[in-house]
Amino acid sequence: MTPTTPAAETADVNELLAPALPWLPAALGPFLLLLAVPLLGTRGRVTIAMVLAGMAVASVVVAVMEGGEQRTLDVVNPFPRGADGELDRIVFETVTAPGYAWGLCAAAFLMLAMGAVFLRKNKGGKPGLVLPATLAGIWLLLLRLALEKCAAPDGLVWATGLGMALIPQGLMIGLAAGRRGAGFWKLLGALLLVGLLQRLAVSGASWVLTSQGWGTHLDMTPLKGFQSPFGKELTFETPMDAWFTGVLLAQTTGWVLGTVLLGLPLGTLGWFVSRKRKK
């Protein structure tokens, strides 16, 4: 098959995700801390706020060490190449930014998260199932988009993807469901609703970025077509056609289902353990 764009290269999932593995603790740590906030009391929340502040300071140190030398990042979005599991590695945008930019960007997002946690340090009641995960997911989404614009290291950009967070997110939702005394079907419904809301946020962000031509991996302007997993060749006349098929349909079907399937095993474990401790 001819590549869908001149910038397409064949790759597999392992090749794309391997650079992200060393960055996962730094990328997903703050996200999981945000999900842990509803499960903790005032002291625990203050501790999380302090940890986030410490991570922000560390990011500033990294920014200083990076200095002003220019960095370049190829912003990649993979799309399927038929039913054989291969992907077209399509470069959607090439970004150049000063070396210090991504460290300062990460520090700003961490301070924002720290402030949100600190403001809620005294809030009581049962832990929420849907809203905390949805808001944390939107925070992670915006962080990734900002890091792309700051030419952050490729592995860090991939590690901040929502797809990377689905398994540990399920655990935290399960713990919250067990703490609330919710039944299994309510846990399943929470995972489904969180997945839908997060993916609607992704689709909404992509619509804005595509309609304005602002770049990032969610701006579908460069996507002229791809071969579906069912072998059908899809072509798009306009960027919004590409957005509808490549983002909205994919996000609100496959990715919502993936949120449930990937989150359910650890979610069930967390739900079971939390309910048992509650008794």
The CA distance from 147 to 24, in Å, is 15
Please check whether residue 97 lies inside any domain of the structure: yes
The residues pairing with 225 across neighbouring beta strands, listed in sequence order, are 235
Please check whether residue 236 lies inside any domain of the structure: yes
Q: Where are the beta strands (DSSP E) in 178-270?
A: 225-227, 233-235
pLDDT tens digit string along 157-216?
Answer: 999 999 999 999 999 999 999 988 899 999 999 999 999 999 999 999 999 999 999 999
Query: How many domains, in total, are found in the chain?
Result: 1
Band of the pLDDT at 10, cuts 50, 70, 90? low
Please check whether residue 2 lies inside any domain of the structure: no
**Which structural domain range is residue 125 located in?**
8-278
For 267, other C-beta atoms within 10 Å of its C-beta total 28
Rounded to 5 degrees, what are φ and ψ at 96?
Answer: -120, 130
Please check whether residue 1 lies inside any domain of the structure: no
Please check whether residue 179 lies inside any domain of the structure: yes
The residues pairing with 227 across neighbouring beta strands, listed in sequence order, are 81, 233
Please check whether residue 60 lies inside any domain of the structure: yes
Please check whether residue 3 lies inside any domain of the structure: no
Contacts of 175 (CB under 8 A, 6+ apart): 39, 270, 271, 273, 274
Quote the DSSP letter at residue 7. Answer: T
pLDDT tens digit string along 37-94?
Answer: 999 999 999 999 999 999 999 999 999 999 999 999 999 988 876 556 577 888 999 9
Please check whether residue 117 lies inside any domain of the structure: yes
